[in-house]
Structure 1
Amino acid sequence: MHWPEEEAARYRAAGYWRGETFGGLLRDLAAAYGPRPALISPTARWTFRDLDERADRLAAGLRASGIRRGDRVVVQLPNVPEFHQVCFALFRIGAWPVFALPGHRSAEISYFCSFTEAAAYICPDDEHRAYAPGTPAHVLGELPETDPDEGDPSESGPHRPAPGDVAFLQLSGGSTGLPKLIPRTHDDYIYSFRASAEICALRPDSVYLCALPAAHNFPMSSPGVFGALSAGAASVLAPDPSPGTCFPLVERERVTIAALVPPLALVWLDAAATTGHDLSSLEVLQVGGAKFGREAAKRVRPELGCTLQQVFGMAEGLVNYTRLDDDEETIVATQGRPISPDDEIRVLDDDGRDSDQGHLLTRGPYTIRGYWRAEEHNRTAFTDDGFYRTGDIVRRTPTGHLVVEGRAKDQINRGGEKISGEEVENHLLAHPAVHDASVVAVPDPYLGERACAYVICRGDPPSGAELRAFLRGRGIAVFKIPDRFEFVDAFPQTAVGKVSKRHLRERT
């Protein structure tokens, strides 16, 4: 799970890893930018000093409740300033946030709490509290704040977090079963968002719009809210990403940079033509989470009046950006190039030979060396010399930019939300009328992909509406429920008798 010491020493010598922790970083930022706005929501405005002091009080309260260094705490909160207060409070204790998404329900939350042996669950309301029976819950609005002891900043003393410690656990997209957990350290993650902020030219007068769920890696660190904070810039937290919510915020707060997934970018482009709101402050629109089609990408500059920045990355590490000074053809036709000079990229054909197009493998100063508590999966996800097999199929241009051509992994990317077909299949198999199920991606011009469930039934098939209601009752996230159901008598098979999902996809 850790980098070899020789490589870690190289990353420190290169200045990527500066020996910082999140808690210490916020302390420094509060000293440098104290009265400047850090977090803005429709109902609140926190300065850097506010965030620092509130994080201290919450850290003291959580310690008093029994949370200690190394404890895991599942965090599921909406886009509110308290989300980041919770993050920094846990960072100061040395406890690990486990970032659940707003769409997760009882099936996912109970799994995260059980698998991580969570010491607590921090959630938005009493309804969510029921998702994790047996795990102590702290509800938004009732967080246990208390005044810290005099001279007791949580990041000091013999039990303080170290820069090389795990800072938090993030969720993988997950191509099989429930998501794997990604351990990110203080050293590697601070480097990734600090370098991202530089690439995105953030400055203290920049204003970042966090329109996507704050727990996603993209709006957290690419450059995200953490990157904005590191540059002394303000972040505006939008309750939802719709133009009706975000356009007034762009106008009121003079937002300079925003990040969206492709389906939302299309909605924004359509809405911009008739909006009465002033969007002239917007300098950069980032689009990532899924491939942004070339024709749509060409619309951004003429219709929104800003620069498009394509972002292609993964919570496991590697992030690529088109640069703000790239030519227009590069911006609309590629998904960018890596953050770091020490991001090592390998593109291999199906036979494992170097190629200009093929399977993307990577290692570097902010790409993990293993999932948490997943030894068996790590043997296939990582090479013996530490390269991460991303599962993406890419083409590399002569300039080092990457063009995403598809994925090798059996995973559905529904508008940036990653769905494991196997997980949904397991829930469908619990229905008494379902003999077998296979969930695959089908193309969609709006979302990129939708989920289609092929189902073999016992006797008369239930309706699609009945199966959707059944899955909702199982407590899975709504975005994972298949968009289509097709009832068949048998599945196509490969030569070795496995279900051929490729042939199922071709049927659509």
Structure 2
Amino acid sequence: MLDGCTPWPAEYAERYRAEGYWTGESLIDVLESSAARHGSATALVQGDLRVSYEELVLRSRRAAVGFRELGIAPDDRVVVQLPNVVEFVVVCFGLFRLGAKPVFALPSHRASEIRHLLEISGAAGYVLPGVHRGFDHPALGRRMRDEVGTLRHLFTLDETVAGDDLVALSAVEAAGAAADPSGTVPLPAPDPADVAFFLLSGGTTALPKLISRTHDDYVYMMRAAVEAIRLTGDDVYLAVLPVEFNFTFGCPGVIGTLLSGGTAVLAADATPERCFPVIERERVTVTSVGPSVVQLWLDAAEWMKPDLSSVRALQIGGSKLHRDLAARIRPELGCGIQQVFGMAEGLICFTRDDDPEEALLTTQGHPISPADEMRIVDDKDQDVPPDTIGELLTRGPYTPRGYYRSPEHNARAFTEDGFYRSGDLARLTPDGRLVIEGRIKDLINRGGEKVSAGDVEGHLEALPAISRAAVVPVPDDYLGERMYAYIVAVGTAPTLPEIKAALTERGLAAYKLPDRVEAVDELPHTGLGKIDKKILAARARGETTPTAAVFFSPLSGGTGTDRPAS
């Protein structure tokens, strides 16, 4: 394993292999096996472009050889920052085949995040778009090469901006085709126990940490997710959220769909105007979204009247889905629903088709693997009784034992016996279903009473006059913290007294009522699609924030006041 990665202890690795969780397959084996079975079938769709399994394998082989010819070596880290395009999949499998390690970056990332990812990974290469949604990525790449000592190679999706110092991805494939016309040059097979690629942590308060995922653990996770959702070669998966998300990439996502012999469709963004016609045309059966996307799709469905009946599983994760919103999905969108709780650090939980209706609407189901271990603990790390809220701890065959090159953080984030401290407030129902209640850092201490921001947000969003809400704490000399709510209103924004009266009518305790409410056009989102409460809390405290980082849509993928939640 690469220096800086934390391996599973030998006894756990041996157990996971002996019990059949780790089977010695690499991600390359998964694609090659599917291509052998489904050769001419469509693997990927992007707009009018359709790529077969045979073509995907050939292009990834050429990319591997091309990267090698152009100076990328096994174990080199390569930051990959592309939108939802076929080339993202080609590049990743090309790097997997070569033994280089992709580091996923989001299209919304800018200099601060990209510099951090390049430096912490020691990246030798950087794959980027051209000018994408108004932002000049090639200029950023050239700047980063001047500032980051390890960065030697720049590659771009856009042929029109390529030059001697910025190689087009088409030229990478062409170099591979010239060096290996038949696509048969042997390359060393990846070690399944080795790191395949790096995902990003999803925190909202700091630069992301790198999560090393091995071939062994990720192939198993995908197979377990495929089995839990019963994905087959007849399924069509729509990648709505950025493909760099763990949710979109492999839960089961694009790669799990390829494992199953199905078709993965790549959407440029999550807007209903973009996605509804694609769902109808391609007869999409599975897609993955967050609650903010669900809300906007529900709003749009009232006037667009889409036919979404092919969608048997609308997977919803990323943040808490409140019951009132969940209950609208079947009658108003006509989709099946699957609640998902997952993390790039490992544990994935799904509801199942045969779950009781109330469990589908209010829980995140069961883990996808029988080897997943979950504990709910109090602040002394003692297990709590069923239906008691505490912190979720987890370990298992696809939950890594540490962040990359982060020994000090790992000492805090993992217990001595290897459980990952998720930071999520959760409880287990008596029948073992997981219910996520919020984040530990999302508790407001108001006069000694602990208030879950997520609980209050759910009640706010259940009011007809409010479509979205976010609640943040503000320091207070008397109460310790007061509660400020930001809302996106439907029509005229309700006043604070009106909101307090409506919440009281819903049975909310007086100490849970907001102290102040502010209506905004949109809520800010982080690059990973979560509401950016750091920005909201700073605004509530009267602190200035950068103009370009304030309120933007979670769907469009633009910049500035229209920045994406990618």
Shorter-chain TM-score range: 0.7 to 0.9
Please tell me whether residue 361 in structure 1 is matched to residue 393 in structure 2.
Answer: yes
Please tell me whether residue 454 in structure 1 is matched to residue 471 in structure 2.
Answer: no
Matched pairs, number: 450
- Matched-pair contact (CA < 8 Å) for 2:98–2:187: no
Match of 1:140 among 152, 157, 180: 157
**2:191 is aligned with what amino acid?**
A
- Matched-pair contact (CA < 8 Å) for 2:426–2:436: yes
**Distance in 2 of aligned mates of 1:282 and 1:152:** 37
**In the superposition, relative to structure 1, how do residues 79 and 231 fare at CA in structure 2: closer, same or farther (>3 Å)?**
same
Q: What RMSD, in angstroms, separates the aligned Cα atoms of the two structures?
A: 3.0
Calculate the TM-score normalised by the size of structure 2.
0.74
**Distance in 2 of aligned mates of 1:173 and 1:154:** 39
**In the superposition, relative to structure 1, how do residues 150 and 79 fare at CA in structure 2: closer, same or farther (>3 Å)?**
closer
Match of 1:195 among 210, 215, 224: 224
Please tell me whether residue 85 in structure 1 is matched to residue 90 in structure 2.
Answer: yes
- Matched-pair contact (CA < 8 Å) for 1:23–1:155: no
Once the two structures are TM-superposed, the CA of residue 66 in structure 1 deviates from its matched residue by 1.1
Report 1:39-50 matches (<5 A). 39-50=44-55
- 3-state SS of the aligned residue for 2:303? coil
Please tell me whether residue 391 in structure 1 is matched to residue 423 in structure 2.
Answer: yes
Once the two structures are TM-superposed, the CA of residue 19 in structure 1 deviates from its matched residue by 0.3
**Distance in 2 of aligned mates of 1:223 and 1:35:** 22
Hey, what does 1:314 align to over in structure 2? 343
Hey, what does 2:414 align to over in structure 1? 382
Hey, what does 1:52 align to over in structure 2? 57
Identical positions, percent:
48
**Distance in 2 of aligned mates of 1:455 and 1:206:** 45
**Distance in 2 of aligned mates of 1:243 and 1:150:** 42
Instruction: Describe the superposition over 1:110-133 as per-residue Cα deviations: whole angstroms up to 9, x where unpaired.
Output: 221122121110001162122232
Hey, what does 1:505 align to over in structure 2? none
Hey, what does 1:504 align to over in structure 2? none
- 3-state SS of the aligned residue for 2:422? strand
**In the superposition, relative to structure 1, how do residues 196 and 231 fare at CA in structure 2: closer, same or farther (>3 Å)?**
same
**Distance in 1 of aligned mates of 2:291 and 2:186:** 39
Report 1:43-442 matches (<5 A). 43-125=48-130, 127-132=136-141, 133-134=144-145, 135=151, 136-141=153-158, 142-143=168-169, 144-145=172-173, 146-147=176-177, 149=180, 156-157=187-188, 160-174=189-203, 176-355=205-384, 356=386, 357-409=389-441
**Distance in 2 of aligned mates of 1:281 and 1:469:** 39
Instruction: Describe the superposition over 1:360-381 as per-residue Cα deviations: whole angstroms up to 9, x where unpaired.
Output: 0000000010000000110000
**2:139 is aligned with what amino acid?**
A
Once the two structures are TM-superposed, the CA of residue 175 in structure 1 deviates from its matched residue by 5.3
**Distance in 1 of aligned mates of 2:550 and 2:300:** 33
- Matched-pair contact (CA < 8 Å) for 1:92–1:154: no
**1:253 is aligned with what amino acid?**
E
Unaligned runs of at least 5 residues, structure 1: 416-420, 422-437, 482-508
Kindly report structure 1 stretches of 4+ aligned residues shifted beyond 3 Å: 148-157, 409-415, 440-451, 453-457, 469-472, 476-481
Instruction: Describe the superposition over 1:241-292 as per-residue Cα deviations: whole angstroms up to 9, x where unpaired.
Output: 1110001001110111111100110111222233244322121111100010
**2:422 is aligned with what amino acid?**
T
Instruction: Describe the superposition over 1:170-214 as per-residue Cα deviations: whole angstroms up to 9, x where unpaired.
Output: 110135531110000000011111110111111111101111011
- Matched-pair contact (CA < 8 Å) for 1:105–1:477: no
- 3-state SS of the aligned residue for 2:536? strand
**Distance in 2 of aligned mates of 1:229 and 1:191:** 14
- Matched-pair contact (CA < 8 Å) for 1:103–1:479: no
**Distance in 2 of aligned mates of 1:441 and 1:307:** 35
Please tell me whether residue 468 in structure 1 is matched to residue 547 in structure 2.
Answer: yes
Unaligned runs of at least 5 residues, structure 2: 1-5, 146-150, 159-167, 444-452, 462-471, 473-480, 489-521, 524-529, 552-557
Hey, what does 2:507 align to over in structure 1? none
**2:111 is aligned with what amino acid?**
S
Once the two structures are TM-superposed, the CA of residue 455 in structure 1 deviates from its matched residue by 7.3
**Distance in 2 of aligned mates of 1:184 and 1:55:** 20
- Matched-pair contact (CA < 8 Å) for 1:69–1:161: no
Instruction: Describe the superposition over 1:3-35 as per-residue Cα deviations: whole angstroms up to 9, x where unpaired.
Output: 111111111122211101111221111111111
- 3-state SS of the aligned residue for 1:329? helix
Hey, what does 1:431 align to over in structure 2? none
**In the superposition, relative to structure 1, how do residues 382 and 298 fare at CA in structure 2: closer, same or farther (>3 Å)?**
same
- 3-state SS of the aligned residue for 1:405? strand
**In the superposition, relative to structure 1, how do residues 396 and 184 fare at CA in structure 2: closer, same or farther (>3 Å)?**
same
- 3-state SS of the aligned residue for 1:452? helix
**Distance in 1 of aligned mates of 2:562 and 2:485:** 14
Once the two structures are TM-superposed, the CA of residue 46 in structure 1 deviates from its matched residue by 0.4
- Matched-pair contact (CA < 8 Å) for 1:256–1:281: yes
Instruction: Describe the superposition over 1:357-407 as per-residue Cα deviations: whole angstroms up to 9, x where unpaired.
Output: 201000000001000000011000001110000000101011211111111
- Matched-pair contact (CA < 8 Å) for 2:62–2:183: no
Once the two structures are TM-superposed, the CA of residue 300 in structure 1 deviates from its matched residue by 1.0
Calculate the TM-score normalised by the size of structure 1.
0.82
- Matched-pair contact (CA < 8 Å) for 2:484–2:540: no
**In the superposition, relative to structure 1, how do residues 153 and 354 fare at CA in structure 2: closer, same or farther (>3 Å)?**
farther
**Distance in 2 of aligned mates of 1:240 and 1:69:** 33
Instruction: Describe the superposition over 1:431-463 as per-residue Cα deviations: whole angstroms up to 9, x where unpaired.
Output: xxxxxxx9x995657868443243799xxx99x
